[in-house]
Chains A and B, each alone.
Chain A
Amino acid sequence: MNGPDLPAWAAWIVVVLALGGAGFSLTGALGLIRLKTFYERVHAPTLGATLGAFLILAGSMLLLSLVEGHIVLRDALIGLFITLTTPVTMLLLARAAAHRDRTEKNPGAPPEP
C-alpha cells in the first residue's frame, strides 16, 4: 500500500492514538454485548463516541497536518458534531425506552418522575 510519508516519531504517535481510539470503541461495543439491561447498555457506546472518536480524530489531524505541510483542523468538526449529538440521541432513546416500559408496566421500568 502506498501510504503517507512521515517521520518515525509522528508515525508512532499516530499509531498509538489510532489504536487507543479503536480500543475504546471496541470496549464500548463489547459493553453493548455484555451488559444485561437496556438502561445499562445505553451507556456503553458513548465510550466509543467520546474518547474513541476524540483519539482517532486527534491522530487523523496530526497525520494530515504533517502530510499536507500546514495545520489541518477540519476533523475537529466531526468531533464537535459527535460531542453535540451523542447526548441528545442517547437521552431521546432512553426516554423512549422508559416510556415504552412504563406503558407496558414492565418490572424493570424506571419510576415516574
Chain B
Amino acid sequence: MSASTVLDWGLGLAQGMLVLAMALAAWRMLRGPRAQDRILGLDTLYLNGMLAIVVHGMRTGSGLYFEAALILGMIGFTATVALAKFLMQGEVIQ
C-alpha cells in the first residue's frame, strides 16, 4: 500500500467515526430529556465538528482549515457558557 492510500483511507475512516460521534451528540441534543442534556449535546456536537474540520484539513494537506477550527472551538465555548448562565440565572446579560 502506498502512503497516500493509507492516508486517504485512514483519515476517511477517522472522519466517518467523528461524523458518527456528531450524530450521537445530535441525538442527545434533540431527545433531551432536560435543557442541560441538550446543552451538553450541543457542546459535544461543536467539539466533534471542530475535530472533523481538523481531520479534513489533514486529508487535503493544507493549513487553511486551522482558523475555521479555532473559531468553531471558541464559538462552542461561548455558546455553552452563555446557555449555562441562562439556566442558572434566567438571563445572559445583566
Residues of A within 8 A of B (CB): 1, 3-8, 10-12, 14-16, 18-19, 21-23, 25-26, 28-30, 32-33, 38, 41-42, 45, 48-49, 52-53, 56-57, 59-60, 63-64, 67-68, 72, 74-75, 77-78, 81-82, 85, 88-89, 92-93, 95-97, 99-100
**Interface contact A1-B8, CB-CB below 8 Å:** yes
Which single residue of chain B is at the shortest CB-CB distance from A37? B37
Main secondary structure of the interface of B (DSSP, over half): helix
How many chain B residues have a CB neighbour from A under 8 Å? 53
Residues of B within 8 A of A (CB): 2-4, 6-8, 10-11, 13-15, 17-18, 20-22, 24-25, 27-28, 34-37, 39-41, 43-44, 47-48, 50-51, 54-55, 57-61, 63, 66, 69-70, 73-74, 77, 80-81, 84-85, 87-88
**Interface contact A18-B11, CB-CB below 8 Å:** yes
Main secondary structure of the interface of A (DSSP, over half): helix
**Interface contact B36-A81, CB-CB below 8 Å:** no
Which single residue of chain A is at the shortest CB-CB distance from B39? A93
